[in-house]
Amino acid sequence: MMGSNYAYRKTFSLKAAAALFLCVLSVTAFTACSARKAPPARTCISFDTVCTINAYDAGTDALYDACEARLNELEQVFSAHISTSDVCRINDAAGDHPVKVSVEVFTVLKTARGFAEKSGGAFDPTIGPLVSLWGIGTEHEKVPSEDEIAAARALVNWKLLSLDEEAGTAFLEKEGMALDLGGIAKGFAADEIASVLKDAGVSSALVDLGGNVYVIGSRPAESGKSASGDGTGVAERKWRVGVKNPFKPEEGAALRVDVADTSVVTSGNYERYFEKDGVRYHHIINPETGWPAESGLVSCTIIDSSSLKADVLSTAVFVLGKDKGLELLEREGVEGVCISLDGSVSVSSNMQTQIKTLSDSLRL
Ligand code: ADP
Ligand code: MG
């Protein structure tokens, strides 16, 4: 299963795989408490990351196959590395002609454009030229020259992504422009997989697409105990999703958010990066400067029933920083938690979710 997906993934980095696998473990560590009938949770590689789907007692091979097939189908249209994808076809036609795209890609592009505007361009789906230039997580990662950055920046502008609703087409108006939906597509995919599971009648499940988490229902009761036999009723049996310690990601979770029926998405500077001369260059780029975002945040976690929204906002808030980022969350009525460089933890005022700090290095 993993092998065949691996073969064509030229840019997939083992370092990233290891880091993301740890991330998956940190989420499941809190949740692996149910009696698991065969088959076990399904783990596969899709969207350049480790994906885990666990429907616990309701899981069947057929259901997991359907989820994996849907993931791979979506990757085929969203990937910036698969030459026949909608994204690559739009990129190839930049400056030349509009391209008819799938309903899924059109939906994501519309949302991406909307949040590009709402975030003042901090989130920009046309970030492709800068992502390629830095090559973070690939074999050609490097610190580019200022000239190279200026040239790539000139090609990043969400306002030049035009969408024609009636024709179902997308068009990048300038030659050399390129979409990169790495900051939003996994959110859409998580919502889709949650739908596949819910449509199959699953009432309790965990979907984790490389840290893009979606939980359905509440946490299953522990093995051998009745529904409320673990001392907590259904309402209290929330999922406990771990947010990795950005300062020591290898040590696991530093925050715990207790949630039900929602998505929890984190963007951090420890997910994909390289270091040169003691400086860390990570994978979330500030479109304004062309450099990895230095907003004072080391991680940002968004909680929302739409994983699509949570994913786009996690990236946007990370770029905007604490103050502007939290303002955006206020305006959107979305919950979020930010961790700053100094270890302070800030939450949005509409935060309803219970959060616990698990590490001395953080201050809530
Ligand atoms: P992850 O992909 O690790 O879950 P994010 O959701 O924050 O993390 O997305 C980061 C990815 O989004 C990058 O790898 C890149 O593909 C893309 N990206 C980087 N900077 C931006 C930006 N300013 N706006 C939109 N997308 C971005
Ligand atoms: Mg994101």
Per-residue confidence (pLDDT) for residue 271, from 0 to 100: 86
Q: Is the CB of 129 under 6 A from ligand 1?
A: no
| Per-residue pLDDT at 33 exceeds 50 | no
DSSP assignment of 70-135, as one string? Answer: HHHHHHHHH-SSSTTSHHHHHHHTTTT--EE--HHHHHHHHHHHHHHHHTTTSS-TT-HHHHHHH-
Least confident of 132-136, 213-217, 231-235: 231-235
What is the pLDDT confidence band of residue 360, given thresholds at 50, 70 and 90? confident
Per-residue confidence (pLDDT) for residue 27, from 0 to 100: 52
| Per-residue pLDDT at 10 exceeds 90 | no
Q: Is the CB of 23 under 6 A from ligand 1?
A: no
| Mean local confidence (pLDDT), 202-208 | 96
Q: What is the CA radius of gyration of the chain?
A: 20
The ligand whose atoms approach the alpha carbon of 318 most closely is 1
Q: Is the CB of 192 under 6 A from ligand 1?
A: no
| Per-residue pLDDT at 234 exceeds 70 | no
Percentage of the chain exceeding pLDDT 70: 85
DSSP, res 271: S
Say what the pTM is: 0.89
| Per-residue pLDDT at 79 exceeds 70 | yes
The ligand whose atoms approach the alpha carbon of 308 most closely is 2
| Nearest-angstrom CA–CA distance, 280 and 274 | 6
Q: Is the CB of 211 under 6 A from ligand 1?
A: yes
CA of 307 to the centre of ligand 2 (A): 9
More confidently predicted of 20 and 115: 115
Per-residue confidence (pLDDT) for residue 2, from 0 to 100: 32
DSSP assignment of 298-357, as one string? Answer: EEEEEEES-HHHHHHHHHHHHHH-HHHHHHHHHHHT-EEEEEETTSBEEE-TT--SEEEE
Percentage of the chain exceeding pLDDT 90: 79
| Per-residue pLDDT at 224 exceeds 50 | no
What's the chain's average pLDDT? 88
Superfamily the domain 77-172 falls into = ApbE-like superfamily (1.10.3980.10)
**In degrees to the nearest 10, what's the CA dihedral of 292, 185, 106, 62?**
170
